[in-house]
Structure 1
């Protein structure tokens, strides 16, 4: 296959488009976190109307209604001990990941190189944070226009609130500032150390997974380095309190992720569900396993070959749940354009070019099916 430079690939992609990147309006006014509106009625036996979804949007499958239809579970130990594995083992791993990306958009991985002790330690720090009084958590509230801090997934004022809270981290120094506001200096080292260790491990894992995913496309992998070379991550704790009426609300409404790929530690309580063939499939928690899913950015880079699958979080009446999601993403200023070798007469270009920054702003106005805004319109018939 002839080599392509990143610059020539962008030139080729740009020439195919007749319209500029869609203009995005100002960020919407976001609603406050779960505790802000629920702290006074968290022990009631009924859910506030602020959290009640219309009947057609309510969950239809409970958090632990598992079936034989489950997302693939893949052993990725070959990534971390290559001398012990021959070429056929690596080819088999690439094939398994490719099949999961093509048919599921989701898979779980085991033997991924992140110690279970670290997973539990970071998980425990989350428990400590969400157990803090509401006023303490608000010291690190996520501010308008910022990605880090205490809050929840994108919800505009006036929308039904999710039965959840969140805490967003970025590797930009803000986490250390949060720690100073939350805990005494002699105790916040545990928080910072567990975050730093986990962030480093999960970013390295994401880089390895990205290479395996790209290998399965059978195209020149150099093109994807434009997007992964300077990729970073946004880490989020999700907290889903026990809910007196779980059948009326959701911890997180159906959505797709904006990024290249997401690595999720979902804990030992069920709640994650993915959409498969029009049905919601609960993802069974597995000790030490991590869930991985394709994001919208990677769907666009593959010109729709790999799909970013809708998923949601349901809640239950007896157990709270904490999960940790790592969003591996390209730089916000990077223009997202499909790989030229994945565009031809049989697979025409599907999306207008856009930056990650523009996409994330628009996602705050349309949480599900965000990519529909960037679908390339067919040229007028001549």
Structure 2
């Protein structure tokens, strides 16, 4: 009854939503003493843009495939956290087809969005190959009801789609569910916690800080946490350019006293920042976005969220209930939402309370694993809503 789990693990230099979610799944199998084999895709550390082909990565992938084939005979089920690039698809296809041929139970998991666009933007022959490859799956897991259409191009896919929201990652302690308060004599703490990718909206957050601090005189402190990262989906010049441009912008706006860039944060430092934040802001339009785990982390710490009407986010953030939804690239709307809560402490406290309730109802670690693992093992309860 061995399950082969294929996906990327987190590393010191690489932390993404998919990696965090795969770490959680592996720990779920370990904690439940379920027999499994892990094929870790994250060991290659060659520098390249996310999603871009490189020879070193290709050679490493060949070694991983050889390891997968050597172990495939031992597995009853194969679970693959699928990629969202051409090279990633070909790698996955080279595992999907042998698994299907050997009659293994095959579960595919999309940790994001943008997959329908990826399909539509490829040539007809590639689309044909994608349709037939994904039709071999026994189950395809997506993160939310709003993301069901990502595989609409696959015939008969509705019977195979399973919805499993993300869950809170490992490593957090002392989550109390106690609503936060604003203090009249202290600044409102704004937090951006995600990779520093242009389409994630970090410059919009900085612009909103400029509006709040310099124009509206709202007392704020803003923490930016994350690694600058290049992707083939963003037209950024380089990691060094983006970081220098960001730091220069802080200086030009005169925000050195209220804005701090921390880089990547982990462990107790990350927990402290989440506990200290009054508002979490992620105005993303990232092409591969699905259901950001950083939003779940914020909700777990009773932090109201300001994000966008984009992909699966409206299932995490209900506008006016546990946060506010704004249009992408709208720093004025971000500033309005922050100022609205700052001027109404009672409203803020209620939204903070609702943030935890939203987390507790939909996004706990237990709820996530109790939905996902039975799907992988083929032990779903008949009639159960997933």
TM-score by length of 1: 0.26
TM-score by length of 2: 0.26
Which of structures 1 and 2 has the larger relative contact order (alpha carbons within 8 angstroms, sep 6+)? 1
